[in-house]
Structure formats: structure tokens, C-alpha cells
Structure 1
Amino acid sequence: MRFRTDLKNIRTFSKLVAALSSLEKIAWVRLDNDTVRFTVIPEMTGSQVWASLSLDLIFDNYHIQSAEANNTINLELALVPLQRALKSAANSSYANLRLTKRDGLPMLSMTIHTMTKDGGGGGGAAAAAPSDRDNLPRGTAGFNSTDPFADNFQQESLELTMKRELEKVITQDIPVRVLHPETVETIMQPKVREPDVHIQLPPLLQLKAISDRFTKLAMTTSSGGGGSKTSNPKLELSANMHGSLRLRLKAETLDITSVWTGLDNPALDPSHINMPMEEHPSVKFKEAGPEKWATVRVDGKDWSKVLSVGRLDGRVIACFADEHALILYVYVPHYEEVGEDVVTYYVSSFSS
């Protein structure tokens, strides 16, 4: 099998990998002729990520070959070394990625080219020696009356005035495991019923700041004054079909809530619905009025990691399956051309 590509939108790629690595240090990467997919499924309980990206978002001059259908290659990838390599490539003039071997072990090798300035030797040109040229009579040796530059320019050393650009090449290896197709078949995306509420979230960094504040309060609040701390606080998220989102922390000694209003409930695409529009749960929730909320309960620490995807600066649509799960669709913009890609987060709800 063979895989080689140039990298583009390195900053976007780096932000995505940083968001994924906050949830888990290992990801499954599926490469084929058309797409690249990153999947993160924590070993313990936690949110899952399914990121399906078009090739032209992060790759250029893409070449792939394998014996599998659609030239598919499945890799288990360590995210922290990849994040470190992308950070090194942030200011590069050119970077590429290829599948190779080191001592018989598979590696993703990233080659990074950067240009550095060489100021040359010395701090500046030496002072010009005095000349008696101006005192010589015209027509004598040392004076060329036909040289238009003779009286206007002094000769200087080329080494002292020219700054050269030098190319620096760095190679970083990211360990991978090549996965057998039968192993990959066991990785299944969760199936969720049609959402009861779908709503566009406020800026995630804003939502994260308030969520983190609630989580910190829950962890530092004593239970009954005895000094015990809540090590795994739960936050309650609710939304309705009238543009409102509610974040609540309820504990033994406090009950606090933040509410956002005026948010957008985007229209559904009928072609993506397997039922008549009038029978869709979200329509029934909307008809029930603004007091009808869909609610999920999330782990505060895990929720904070999920919200780190806000660094991608994309719009986020949250789909609430009441008392069951929360699905986040993060639309990553193509900054160089028109288009978006979708990163999907699956967050399970805890029971009340």
C-alpha cells in the first residue's frame, strides 16, 4: 500500500487534531479515494467523534493505493505526535505526509520545509577609504568620464549586503498501526432516533467558559458543609424549538442556570427525513410551545473537552434526543474556497 500527500490548511488541521486529542490519545483514520475520516472512541465512558472530511480541506496532490476497495487504508494513529508535528509545520513553506517504514515498523512521516534568513557575516559594510579621484585632472588614469555612475555610487562587498534564504528540512515520524478490514468492521457509528430539538449553539468558547465555571463550582462546593467534593459533576442541558438553550447545575447546596435566547432552530431537509414532516418529533415539540424542553445530562469534564472544538470557529448545530443523547454537528469552513465539512460528536445522556 502507498499513501502520500501534501498538506494545506495546516492550522485548521492542527486545531482539529488538538480537539480530538483532548478526548482520547488514539484515533482511527480511514483514508480512501474520496475522503479522510477520523474516529475517536474513548476506552472508558466519554463522547465519541466521527469526523468525515473532504480531501481538499487538508490535503493536496493526494496519492493513495491499496488492495482494498476504493484504495482504502485504515490506520490506528497516535494523536499527540501528530499534533506536535503539525505545530512544527504551522509556519512552513511546504509540508508533506507519507506512509513509510522505520526499522520494519509503519510510520506516517511528515517532512516540513521552512525558509530561514541568513544575514551573512559581519554587522555592516566597512567605511570607504578616502579617495583622491576628485583631485585628478580629467583624462588621467583612474577617472572615466563616460561612466554615468562614477560620481554617484560606491562599490560594496556582495557578502555584506546580500541576505540569503536558506531551506531547513525537518522530518517527524508518527507511529501508526495498519488495521485489518475485519477489525474496522467492528467500529460502528451510534444510531440515534430522530431529534426532538435541533438548535444552533452560541459561540462554543462562550458556552465553554460558563460550563467550566459551573463544573468548578460543583467540584468546590461542600456537601452539607462536610468538605466533601463532587468529583464527577453533571450538567443539565436543555433546548426548545423556540430558540432557547438552558444550562443548569443542580446540587445539594446550589441550583444555578444560564439561558440563551434568540438562537436559530434551522429548518430540516425533508430529503434527510424518513417520515412525513408533520410527524417529526421536532414539529411536535414546536407545537407544544416554549415550555417544552428536550434535556440531556452530561459529564462536566467531558463536556468541556467536547467544547474545545470551538477553536475551529465553525457553526454548531445541536440535536437533542430527549433523555437519550446529544449530537453535535460542527461545520468546519473551507477558508480558501466555498464549502464546509462536518465533524460529528456523539454525547450520551446520563439518567436523572
Structure 2
Amino acid sequence: MRFKADLRNIRTFSKLTAALNSLEKIAWLRLDDDTVRFTVIPATGSQVWASLSIDLIFENYTLQSADQNNTINLELPLGPLQRALKSALNSTQANLRLTKRDGVPMLSMTIHTMTKDTSNTSNHPNPNHDRFGGYGNNEPDFGEDFNQESLELTMKREREKVITQDIPVRVLHPNSVETIMQPKVREPDVHIQLPPLLQLKAISDRFTKLATTTTSSIRGTSNPKLELSANMHGSLRLRLATESLDIQSVWDNLENPELEEAQLAMPLNEHPSTKFKEAGPDKWATVRVDGKDWSRVLSVGRLEGRVIGCFADDHALILYVFVPHFDGSSAEDVVTYYVSSYCM
């Protein structure tokens, strides 16, 4: 079993890991010839299924496994990975490999950075230099090799620093992960492109805080629910309703993306979203989410990609977060969030 790769797009990788770590501390990492897959399934709350192409976060990728599909499955702690990636943000080079330390499997991240040696003479006063920054009438002759010598001295003052961070992992047998299945959801009633998630998160957090403040003295609860609704006419509504208040924020003029009929299991004119659109702007699909869990979900907004929300009325909300490659291409990868709706 062998895995080794150089890291690329470390900042994107770090943001993704931070978003996953906010939901759960352990992830299932699946590596194969084409994709890197992260799966996060907390005991309660939202689930994440991220399928990323190799070249989004890795290059010089090597993978060898005894599995017939050339696959490696790992149980991975996200906190240590996030800390290691944070250390690598300003690196000149970083790589990740599967190894062992005292018989314990590890993902070992080696980080190369350049540091400057401060023990140089550039800060020492020059006796030939007067107090006003000049040399008087006797300007020194630096010679023809001055520029070359200065460059050599500067280079000597730079030192390469190599840091190794070991992340303990557990290698999973293929049979142990066969039962991990992505949730099946019925065809959505509404699909809509959401506003920037960090903007939505700021308002959601404000509602959650307000709900906690107003309801804790009434029912002693600290688990407020938010109502999220959307229609097929470009509107999204976030609502907080308690015994003492009822407030909402509405976004209009959002896009309802067109569906490709070839990818549907039914004719487009029979699709639930078509019926919701024909019913007019007063026909809403609604889910009820835990305020604190929803805030953690919205932290994926730091990836800065477009997000499509698919609403199955009173059942679930599926978020498709498209992660751009930032290399000049139009390629995108998808992180999928499954958010269950709570009953009132």
C-alpha cells in the first residue's frame, strides 16, 4: 500500500478541511486513481459527501493498493490535518504520504519553507556614512562585483526550514465501508442558486442568537430552529418564529437553474419543480434546520463557489457546493451537504 503526492491549492484544501471539521472531527477519506473523497457523517446533524478530482489538491500523485480497484480507505482526524495545512500555507513545497511510525499508520506531511537569517551586518552602522545618510566628499568605490556579492550574501541569509507533521490514521478494510451510502432523496420540489453563503450565515447567526436569547427564558432551550423556504420564482426566505417573535429575511431575483431532461428519471413536465413553478410565487418548499448546525454548514461559504440548494418540501435540503479550480479553467468539483428537515 502506497500513497504519496505533492500538495497544490493548499489554501482551498485548508478551507475545505476547516469546513468539514466544523461538523465532525473524523472523516472517511477514500483515495483512488481519479478522485479524493471525503465523507463526514456525524451522529446528529448534517452529512457531507465531497468528491474532488485529484488535480484540485494534489500533483505528482502516486497510489498503489492491493485492492482490486486500487483504492485506499482511511479514517482521518480532521483537526490535525487542518493544523498541518495551516502550517503549509506559506510553504514553498509540501507533500503528503502514507507511512508508519512505530507500527502506527500515519499521513506524514512534509513542509518546506524559507526563513531569513537575521544575523547579518545590514543593520550595523557604516563608519563612512554620515548622520544624514551621505558619504561626504569621498564616495566609496563598491567595485564591479558589488551587486553579485550582495546577492550572494542575501541568498546565504535565507535558510530552508523543513517541518514534518504526522497525522495518525486508521486504514479501513473495503468491507467495512461498503455500508456507507449517500442518502437517497426524492426529486427536489425547488432548486435555486443561493446568495453568498457567508452573507446568509451572518443573518442566520443573528436569528439563532436572537432565538436563543428570547426562548431560553421561556422554555429553557438552546436549540433554536430556523425555517428556510424557496420557490421556483427566484425567492429564498429565512424565517424565525417563536412564541414571542416572528421575523424573516427574503432574497429575490435569484436564479432557478434549468434542469437537463436527459438526466432526469421522469419527463420535465412531470417533475415536481415544474409543478411548483406552475403554482406561482406563493408556492414554497420549506425545511426546518437546527440553527447551530446550519451555521456550521454555511461555513463552507469560505470556498467562494456557487451553491445550488435543492429543497424536498418538509423532508431535506441538499446543497451542491461547486469548488472552482482557480487555475484559469472552468473546472469545478462538488461538495454535497445533506441537511435533514426537523418536524415542528
TM-score (norm 1): 0.89
What is the CA deviation profile of residues 68-111 of structure 1, one whole-angstrom value per residue up to 9, with x for unaligned ones?
12310000000000000000000000000000000100000000
1:208/1:276 Cα in 2 relative to 1: closer, same or farther (>3 Å)?
A: same
Matched, 1:167 2:156: no
Partner of 2:16: 16
For 2:29, give the aligned amino acid.
Answer: V
Which structure's CA Rg is the greater one? 1
Matches within 5 A, 1:260-271: 260-271=251-262
1:246/1:4 Cα in 2 relative to 1: closer, same or farther (>3 Å)?
A: same
Once structures 1 and 2 are overlaid, which stretch shifts more, 183-192 or 265-274?
265-274
Task: Provide the C-alpha distance between the structure 1 equivalents of 2:248 and 2:295, rounded to a whole number of angstroms.
Answer: 17
For 2:167, give the aligned amino acid.
Answer: I
What is the CA deviation profile of residues 108-142 of structure 1, one whole-angstrom value per residue up to 9, with x for unaligned ones?
0000000112244333474369xxxxxxxxxxxxx
Secondary structure of the 2:258 match is coil
Matches within 5 A, 1:70-85: 70-85=69-84
Instruction: Tell me the percent identity.
Output: 75
Secondary structure of the 2:169 match is strand
For 2:337, give the aligned amino acid.
Answer: Y
Partner of 1:351: 343
For 2:175, give the aligned amino acid.
Answer: E
Secondary structure of the 2:69 match is helix
Matched, 1:340 2:332: yes
Matched, 1:36 2:36: yes
For 1:199, give the aligned amino acid.
Answer: I
Partner of 1:176: 169
Displacement after TM superposition at 1:152 (Å): 4.3
Displacement after TM superposition at 1:236 (Å): 0.4
Cα RMSD, aligned residues only: 2.1
Instruction: Tell me if the contact between 2:215 and 2:242 (Cα under 8 Å) persists in the aligned partners.
Output: no
Task: Provide the C-alpha distance between the structure 1 equivalents of 2:278 and 2:10, rounded to a whole number of angstroms.
Answer: 45
Aligned length: 329
What is the CA deviation profile of residues 273-320 of structure 1, one whole-angstrom value per residue up to 9, with x for unaligned ones?
111111000000000000000000000000000000000000000000
Partner of 2:112: 113
Partner of 2:315: 324
Task: Provide the C-alpha distance between the structure 2 equivalents of 1:5 and 1:194, rounded to a whole number of angstroms.
Answer: 38
What is the CA deviation profile of residues 139-191 of structure 1, one whole-angstrom value per residue up to 9, with x for unaligned ones?
xxxxxxxxxxxx94359795898222211000000110000111100111000
TM-score (norm 2): 0.91
Task: Provide the C-alpha distance between the structure 2 equivalents of 1:177 and 1:325, rounded to a whole number of angstroms.
Answer: 32
Partner of 1:137: none
Partner of 1:212: 205
Instruction: Tell me if the contact between 1:125 and 1:161 (Cα under 8 Å) persists in the aligned partners.
Output: no
Task: Provide the C-alpha distance between the structure 1 equivalents of 2:272 and 2:196, rounded to a whole number of angstroms.
Answer: 26
Task: Provide the C-alpha distance between the structure 2 equivalents of 1:254 and 1:328, rounded to a whole number of angstroms.
Answer: 28
Partner of 1:145: none
Partner of 1:25: 25
